[in-house]
Structures are given as structure tokens and as C-alpha cells.
């Protein structure tokens, strides 16, 4: 980073020092925030509260701090939490797996350990294909049910309740896999429970099944800013990204808590409709109780830190069921879910020559265990290439390197160079993925060989929509495959990029999984693909989602969700497998009753609307309207609808001050805290961007993000920026005062610190 020196006169320096102190005091004095959720059942409430207490007691009373004091950050650019939060959180998750779907209850207990009235907000992840439909808030022995409302209306209702001293709970979606809970007016020493419920499909590949529960949101890089790597971006460039950031807990603070920050307990009641075998969790130790088709799985260590995704895996004894058929009557319409798995077919001819483009993320968020896992995965993939294949490697952080000018033959010499290049990679810099995606999709081959683009990344970025839009518009004949790296990858990005790119995705959680998971993915890519799929109904008319059916890779089922006025007729699914015609017929009248199909259909239709928005098939206003209508009709939390619960009786006394606390998130396991939040200095372009922002009265928020793959600021940089900007504003104000000219810089700065 280039350094910048300000030359000031004596009076200006005096003003700079005075305003620097004022800036520090303002940071310490302003208000902050943190979220919440909790369970209604006594059992879940006890579990959540016990999880908090077992983790290390409570924070000292009166330890609540302002937003600036906790996070030390401008606007919504994240930060590091160094003080123990006054609001303590315990979470209990119960997942009931029935057949091919899971109904999940998440209960969060928020305990105010301070002597002040608090507002709490909390950013948390859920499965990207889940459908959140229920909110309950529990205060003492009173239960308040949430209602679905348009997003702006729900926020207005919450703000009004906040001002009136009423308890209120608000659930908002920031991404399909990222939600925020806000809880208003929690009294001193009080515990408020918030419970949400959602349903999600079980993932199936061949005879292997899995349920993945994300438990932590990793820091996101705010991509797409001005200058190199978007090191300090303007608010306009980050519209829609400021809701992705939350403070990250300093490891030393977590150690002081004694392991009791954000503990979570998990129970899975497994009833898949067959006797499950090989039940395991790759990232947590579990206990399995029961026998036959029904099992109960719990964490062997009780409550654990919410710092890595939980995944449960199981398999079917013998051949996996090739068909699943469920129905639901909702209102005046019937809904159906059909899961059809094409048969496994041995390839009748050799695997044709391929062009494989590997894109590897070496940004700062990959520091720690993720980078070695990504490199091992890539090295394994290179070892599977044949002389007739072509390949290339693209690496990216906030810069990009394309190893070869174009794809080259997989010769011994080229592969040796690729291995040396891979082994030399270190994690550093920001996560500017879009240029790498553009380069990867650029096809100059001019032939018809299969072209496969494989991304290895944790997906810790803010501009997912740009990724999907680029693929929808420019994928050509390329197929995009995603490998989610690390303990908490952004699976929304993995799934949606793979769907847009007619590919598939997998996860590599730790280094030990690298070769095995990469092998499974590459084996599937070498098998015949079911293409040109169609679905039709004889004797009925069904509105299916998805409307455009995807290609299917070995062992992947086609999951069709449809609705009709009266469920009848025969469903025929057909396509090509290795050039041979294949079809399967299903009698829809044989469907089993279920209470989850309608909302899964709506959730899938919403995802389709988003995809149509990315591809330009639907404009933004029409997409927003369609999503809002679906959310309201099916009582779902979406980007345009939220759940709100309000206690009509005010509880906070008139005149009692309210503190806002944003609950810090644990750093995902395996991430390198010092690498992400170590000292960095700002460039001259960064300073220019901030000076421009201070001079603009209408820019109320300035987004600041690190060039080291993180959305958050380190503590010292935030303090240094505050002092320097305060002084610079003071110097400018002093000079203008001498010229009797009033400028906007000082008021703008005051708003930044408020």
C-alpha cells in the first residue's frame, strides 16, 4: 500500500488532535447491535439456556457497549469484537428427517446479562434451499406468533415497536442462505426465546444421502469496488452488500468466555423410509441411538461452538430407491414432488477428450486449512488428466493469473509446470472472483470437445448475483462445477453457480477429504450424463418447477415440484444417456400424502425467478413483485417478505435508554484470524474515495473492506482511520472557517461516527 502524508499548519494540527479524541469518544459512546432466536418448547428452551451456562457462565453486568465500541468500524463494514457481549446466545436445533425432506426447528435463547435495556441482532446461516415459514417469540410464559409481511412494512412495524418500548422479533432474509434476527427491548437480566421453523430437501447422490446445517457465516469480501481489488469501496458500489457483514469474535475474547460463546446443540430424528446404513458426521462426533428405520443422532460432545457446518450422511442398504412421490392439497390446488433417478449406464464408448479449466481461490479467507485442501484437490485433479485432454489453471485473489495463454495439452511438461504453480500458491488478497469467471468462460478452442470449468473456493464474497448473471449470459458450451472449500463454504453460491452452469457441486470440509471428495466429483463427471430431459403429463396439466430441466450427473435424481387443480395422470420423464433414449413413467395417483410439498414448490419457484432476473429474462421490479406475492401466499421469508412478532404491551419504561448490540460471530474453524485481521495500511486511492464520500451529504454510509479476503477491519486500522479522517476533516473545516465558508465535511463525519 502507498502511504499518504498530510501537511498541516500548527492550528490545523491542534484541531486534528482535538477532533481525533472526539472521534475516539464517539466510537466508544455510540450504540450497537446483535440478533436472536429461541425455542418455544420447554425442552428446547432448557437446552439453549443450558448450552449458554455450560459454556462459561455469563458476562459481567453492565458490559454492553456501543456499536462503535464493540466493532470499531465505519457503517456496516464488519469488524472485530474484542469485548464480551452483554447478550448471550444459546442455540438448539432439532431436525426431523422424513423420507426426502427435513423439518427443522431452530431455537435461540437470548439472555441480557447487563443492567440496561437492549436491542439484539444476529446474522446466521440456514440451508440455501430451505423455506422459512414460522416464527414464535417467547417472553416468560407468553408466546407471540409471527406474521408474514412485505419487507418494508415488517421493518416499519418493528421500528415502531422498538420506539414504543414493545418487545418485537423480526426475521429478514439477506441471501437465500443468510438471515438476520432482530429482537427489541430485552430487559436487564431477561431471557427471550425466538423459534423459527423451516423445511428443506435431503440431498441425494446415488445411494448416499446428506443433511447439511450451516452454523456460521464467514466474513464476506465486499467485491467490486473502485481501484485495485475494491480495497475501499463506495456505498453506491456496495448497494445490497452492507447486510452481509457482522463483527467477528476475537479469539482472545472467546477464550475469556471459556468456550461459551454461541454454543449449539443438535438432534436429528432420522426416518428416511428405509434402514439407513453408514450413518456418520464428517465434522462432528455423534451418537446414534435406535434401530431399524428410525434413529436419533445427537452430538457426542453436547453443545459445541457454532464455528463449522454440521453435516449428517447416511446410505441406503442395497439399491437406493429410484422413485419418490409425494402430494399435498393446499387451498384449491394440488402439489406434487417427484424424485426420479435415471438408471446407471456404463459408458459404451471411451470418455471423449475434454478441456478442463481449473479456477482456484487463493484469497485471504483461504488462509489456514482451506488453502492446503484446495491445493491438494487441484493436484489430485491434475493427476487424472490424459494426454488427449487440454487444461489450464486460473488463480485469483484481488488479482488474477492465467497459467497458460490458452488451454494446453496435458503433457508431462505442462503438468509439471502446473504442479509447481499450484504448490507455490499462498492465501492473500481480496476475493475478486468475477474476472476469473469471465476468463474461465472465454472459449477460444473452436472445437466441440466437452469443456468443464471447476472452481475451488470458499465463496466468501458479496456479489453472488454477478456470478450467476455472468454464467447465464456467457456460459456457451462450458459446464461449471463448484468445489466448496473449508468448514463453512457459501453453499448458496456453490449450488446456484452449478445450476446456472449446468454442472454440479461438492464440498471439501477438511484436508483429509480433499482427494476422496475430488475423486467422487471427477468420477461423476466421467460418467454418462442424462441430457435433453423433458417432463410431460398424460391426462393432466402440471406447472412444474424447474421449468427448464437440468442435466443430471451419475447418481443424481431429478426433483420435480409441480402444482395443478387436480392431481391425475401419468408423468413421463425422458432424456438421453450416452446417446441412448431413456424414459420412465410414474402414476401420479400413487403419491403419498405430505405436508411439505407446497412450500417446497414455492421456494423452488422463487429460486427460478431469481435465475430469470440474473439472465435478463425478467426485470428487477417484476421479479421483486413475483417474489413478494409468492412469499405472502405461502407464508415464507424471502428477499421481499419478512416475519414479524410483536408484544402489544410496552415493557421498556418511558425514558429508559436502549442499547443496541450486534452479536459477534465465531470465525469458521480452520480460518487464520491473524492473516485476515492483521495490520494493513490504506492506499492513496482509498483515501481519495473516503474524502469524496465525506464531501457528499447524500452518502450516509461508507463501506470499507480489507484487501485480504475479508469484509472486516482490524481494530487498529479502524482507530487510525477514525483519528486521521477526523483530523483531516477538522483541518479542512478550520481553513474554511478562516475563509468564512461552511462545508459539509464535519457534519458528514459526525454522521459516520453516530
Cβ-in-10-Å burial (0-12, 13-18, 19+) of 750 comes to middle
Percent of the chain with pLDDT over 70: 76
pLDDT of 76 strictly over 80: no
Confidence of residue 56 (pLDDT cuts 50, 70, 90): very low
Contact call for residues 642 and 171 (beta carbons, < 8 A):
yes
Q: Considering the domain boundaries, does residue 202 fall inside one?
A: no
Q: Considering the domain boundaries, does residue 164 fall inside one?
A: no
Q: Considering the domain boundaries, does residue 482 fall inside one?
A: yes
Average pLDDT for 591-618: 91
Least confident of 259-273, 524-538, 602-616, 731-745: 731-745
Q: Considering the domain boundaries, does residue 521 fall inside one?
A: yes
Average pLDDT for 424-432: 93
Q: Considering the domain boundaries, does residue 712 fall inside one?
A: yes
What is the model's pLDDT at position 400? Answer: 96
Q: Considering the domain boundaries, does residue 308 fall inside one?
A: no
Q: What is the CATH number of the domain that holds 497?
A: 3.40.50.410
Q: Supply the DSSP string of 545-582, one letter for each residue.
A: ESSSPPPB-TTPPEEEEEEESS--SEEEEEEEETTEEE
Q: Considering the domain boundaries, does residue 472 fall inside one?
A: yes
- Domain housing 694: 10-26+676-753
Confidence of residue 347 (pLDDT cuts 50, 70, 90): confident
Q: Dihedral through CA 311, CA 105, CA 605, CA 530, nearest 10?
A: 30
pLDDT of 82 strictly over 50: yes
> Which of 473, 508, 525 is the C-terminal boundary of a domain?
525
List, for residues 602-613, the tens digit of each pLDDT value: 999 999 998 888
Q: Considering the domain boundaries, does residue 196 fall inside one?
A: no
Strand ranges across the sheet with 580-587:
530-538, 570-577, 580-587
What is the model's pLDDT at position 448? Answer: 79
> Which of 525, 550, 574 is the C-terminal boundary of a domain?
525
Average pLDDT for 728-735: 44
Confidence of residue 72 (pLDDT cuts 50, 70, 90): very low
> Which of 472, 496, 525 is the C-terminal boundary of a domain?
525
Give me the chain's average pLDDT, please: 80
Q: Alpha carbon 609 to chain centroid distance?
A: 19
Confidence of residue 205 (pLDDT cuts 50, 70, 90): confident
Contact call for residues 81 and 248 (beta carbons, < 8 A):
yes
Cis amide linkage into residue 553, ω under 30° from 0: no
Grid coordinates representing 601 are 414448490
Contact call for residues 473 and 496 (beta carbons, < 8 A):
no
Indicate the pTM of the whole model. 0.79
Contact call for residues 712 and 219 (beta carbons, < 8 A):
yes
Contact call for residues 170 and 154 (beta carbons, < 8 A):
yes
Q: How far apart are CA 277 and CA 293, in angstroms?
A: 10
Number of domains in the chain: 2
pLDDT of 366 strictly over 90: yes
Q: How far apart are CA 330 and CA 313, in angstroms?
A: 32
What is the model's pLDDT at position 320? Answer: 60
Confidence of residue 12 (pLDDT cuts 50, 70, 90): very low
Amino acid at each position: 500500500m502507498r502511504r499518504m502524508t498530510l501537511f498541516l499548519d500548527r492550528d490545523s494540527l491542534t484541531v486534528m488532535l482535538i477532533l481525533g479524541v472526539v472521534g475516539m469518544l464517539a466510537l466508544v459512546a455510540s450504540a450497537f447491535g446483535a440478533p436472536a432466536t429461541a425455542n418455544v418448547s420447554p425442552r428446547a428452551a432448557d437446552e439453549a439456556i443450558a448450552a449458554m451456562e455450560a459454556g462459561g457462565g455469563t458476562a459481567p453486568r453492565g458490559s454492553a457497549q456501543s456499536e462503535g465500541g464493540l466493532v470499531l468500524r465505519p457503517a456496516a463494514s464488519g469488524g472485530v469484537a474484542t469485548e464480551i457481549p452483554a447478550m448471550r446466545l444459546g442455540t438448539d436445533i432439532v431436525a426431523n428427517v422424513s423420507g426426502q425432506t427435513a423439518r427443522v426447528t431452530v431455537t435461540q435463547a437470548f439472555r441480557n446479562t447487563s443492567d440496561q435495556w437492549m436491542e439484539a441482532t444476529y446474522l446466521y446461516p440456514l440451508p440455501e434451499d430451505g423455506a422459512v415459514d414460522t416464527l414464535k417469540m417467547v417472553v416468560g410464559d407468553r408466546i407471540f406468533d409471527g406474521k408474514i409481511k412485505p419487507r418494508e412494512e415488517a421493518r416499519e412495524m418493528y421500528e415502531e415497536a422498538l420506539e414504543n418500548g414493545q418487545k418485537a422479533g423480526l426475521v429478514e432474509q439477506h441471501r437465500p442462505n443468510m438471515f438476520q434476527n432482530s429482537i427489541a427491548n430485552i430487559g436487564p437480566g431477561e431471557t427471550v426465546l425466538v423459534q423459527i421453523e423451516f423445511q428443506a430437501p435431503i440431498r441425494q447422490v446415488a445411494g448416499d444421502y446428506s443433511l447439511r446445517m450451516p452454523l456460521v457465516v464467514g466474513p464476506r469480501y465486499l467485491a467490486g469496488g473502485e481501484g485495485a481489488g475494491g480495497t475501499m469501496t463506495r456505498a453506491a458500489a456496495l448497494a445490497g452488500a452492507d447486510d452481509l457483514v457482522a463483527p467477528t469474535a476475537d479469539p482472545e475474547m472467546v477464550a475469556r468466555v471459556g468456550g461459551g460463546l454461541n454454543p449449539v446443540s443438535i438432534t436429528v430424528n432420522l426416518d428416511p423410509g428405509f434402514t439407513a446404513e453408514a450413518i456418520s458426521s464428517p465434522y462432528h462426533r455423534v451418537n446414534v441411538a435406535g434401530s431399524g428405520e428410525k434413529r436419533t443422532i445427537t452430538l457426542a460432545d453436547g453443545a459445541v461452538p457454532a464455528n463449522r457446518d454440521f453435516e449428517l450422511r447416511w446410505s441406503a442398504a442395497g439399491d437406493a430407491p429410484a422413485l419418490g412421490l409425494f402430494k399435498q392439497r393446499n387451498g384449491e390446488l394440488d402439489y406434487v414432488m417427484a424424485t426420479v433417478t435415471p438408471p446407471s449406464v456404463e459408458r459404451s464408448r471411451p470418455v471423449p477428450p475434454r478441456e478442463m479449466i481449473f479456477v482456484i481461490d487463493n484469497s485471504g479467507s483461504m488462509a489456514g486449512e482451506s488453502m492446503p485442501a484446495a491445493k491438494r484437490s487441484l493436484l489430485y485433479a491434475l493427476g487424472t488428466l490424459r494426454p488427449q485432454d487440454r487444461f489450464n489453471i486460473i488463480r485469483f485473489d484481488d488479482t488474477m493469473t492465467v497459467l497458460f495463454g490458452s488451454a494446453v495439452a496435458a503433457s508431462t511438461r505442462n503438468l509439471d509446470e502446473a504442479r509447481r504453480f499450484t504448490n507455490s500458491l499462498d492465501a492473500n488478497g481480496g476475493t475478486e472472483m468475477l474476472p476469473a469467471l469471465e476468463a474461465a468462460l472465454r472459449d477460444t478452442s473452436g472445437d466441440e470437445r466437452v469443456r468443464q470449468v471447476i472452481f475451488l473456493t470458499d465463496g466468501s464474497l458479496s456479489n453472488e448475483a454477478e456470478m450467476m448473471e455472468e454464467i447465464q449470459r456467457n456460459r456457451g458450451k462450458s459446464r461449471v462445477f463448484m468445489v466448496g472449500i473449508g468448514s463453512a463454504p457459501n453453499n448458496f453460491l456453490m449450488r446456484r453457480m452449478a445450476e446456472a452452469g449446468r454442472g454440479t457441486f461438492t464440498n471439501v470440509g477438511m484436508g483429509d477429504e480433499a482427494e476422496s471428495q475430488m475423486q467422487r466429483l471427477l468420477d461423476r463427471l466421467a460418467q454418462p450424463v442424462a441430457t435433453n430431459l423433458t417432463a410431460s403429463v398424460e391426462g393432466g396439466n402440471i406447472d412444474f418447477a424447474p421449468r427448464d430441466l437440468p442435466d443430471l450427473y451419475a447418481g443424481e435424481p431429478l426433483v420435480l415440484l409441480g402444482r395443478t387443480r387436480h392431481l391425475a395422470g401419468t408423468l413421463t420423464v425422458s432424456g438421453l444417456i450416452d446417446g441412448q433414449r431413456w424414459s420412465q413413467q410414474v402414476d401420479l395417483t400413487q403419491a403419498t400424502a405430505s405436508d411439505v410439498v407446497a412450500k417446497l414448490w414455492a421456494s423452488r419457484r422463487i429460486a427460478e425467478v431469481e435465475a430469470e432476473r440474473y439472465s435478463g429474462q425478467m426485470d428487477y421490479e417484476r421479479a421483486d413483485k413475483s417474489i413478494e406475492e409468492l412469499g405472502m401466499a405461502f407464508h415464507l421469508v424471502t428477499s421481499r417478505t419478512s416475519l414479524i412478532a410483536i408484544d402489544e404491551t410496552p415493557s421498556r419504561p418511558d425514558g429508559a435508554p436502549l442499547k443496541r448490540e450486534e452479536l459477534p460471530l465465531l470465525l469458521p474453524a480452520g480460518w487464520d484470524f491473524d492473516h485476515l485481521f492483521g495490520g494493513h495500511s490504506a492506499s492513496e486511492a482509498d483515501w481519495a474515495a473516503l474524502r469524496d464520500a465525506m464531501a457528499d451529504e447524500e452518502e450516509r454510509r461508507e463501506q470499507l473492506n480489507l484487501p485480504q479476503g475479508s469484509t472486516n477491519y482490524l481494530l487498529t486500522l479502524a482507530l487510525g482511520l477514525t483519528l486521521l479522517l477526523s483530523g483531516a476533516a477538522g483541518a479542512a473545516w478550520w481553513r474554511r472557517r478562516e475563509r468564512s465558508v461552511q462545508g459539509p465535511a464535519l457534519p458528514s463525519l459526525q454522521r459516520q461516527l453516530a
